[in-house]
Amino acid sequence: MRGPHNILRLIRTGATLERTGAMAVVMDAFDAPRLVRMTMRFLAWPFQWLGYRGDPAMPPATRALTALGPAYIKFGQILSTRPDLVGDDLATQLRVLQDKLPPFPVAVAKASVAAQLGRPVEEVFDDFSAPVAAASIAQVHRARLREGGEEVAVKVLRPGIERAFRKDIDAFYFAARTIEFLSPGSRRLRPTDVIAHFEGVVMGELDLRLEASSASEFTANTAGDEGFALPRVNWPLSGRRVMTMGWADGVPLGDNAALDAAGHDRAQLAERVLQLFLKHALRDGYFHADMHQGNLKVAPSGDIIAYDFGIMGHIDEYTRKVYAEILYGFIKRNYRRVAEVHFEAGYVPADRDVDEFARALRAVGEPIFGMDASHMSIGNLLSYLFEVTERFGMETRTELILLQRTMVVVEGVARSLDPQINVWQAARPVVEDYIRKNIGPRAAMRDLQKTLAVLTRYGPRLPAIVENALIRQSMPVETAPRGQRGAGALWALGGGLAGAAATVAVFWLV
Look at phi and psi of residue 382 and say left if phi exceeds 0, alpha if psi is from -120 to 50, else beta. Answer: alpha
The answer to whether 403 touches 315, Cβ cutoff 8 Å, is yes
Task: Give the distance between the most distant pair of CA atoms in the chain.
Answer: 81
Torsion angle of C-alpha atoms 120, 123, 126, 128, degrees rounded to 10 = -20
Distance in angstroms (rounded) separating the CA atoms of residues 324 and 321: 5
Tell me, what amino acid is at 137?
I
Residues in the chain: 510
Q: Who contacts 126 (Cβ-Cβ below 8 Å, separation ≥6)? A: 144, 145, 146, 149
Look at phi and psi of residue 416 and say left if phi exceeds 0, alpha if psi is from -120 to 50, else beta. Answer: alpha
Q: Who contacts 496 (Cβ-Cβ below 8 Å, separation ≥6)? A: none
The answer to whether 131 touches 103, Cβ cutoff 8 Å, is yes
The answer to whether 455 touches 497, Cβ cutoff 8 Å, is yes
> Phi and psi at residue 486, in whole multiples of 5°?
-105, 35
The answer to whether 90 touches 29, Cβ cutoff 8 Å, is yes
The answer to whether 407 touches 378, Cβ cutoff 8 Å, is yes
Distance in angstroms (rounded) separating the CA atoms of residues 287 and 402: 10
Distance in angstroms (rounded) separating the CA atoms of residues 267 and 260: 11
Active site residues: 290
The answer to whether 358 touches 336, Cβ cutoff 8 Å, is yes
The answer to whether 388 touches 361, Cβ cutoff 8 Å, is yes
The answer to whether 192 touches 180, Cβ cutoff 8 Å, is yes
Closest to 168 (Cα-Cα) out of 2, 32, 28: 2
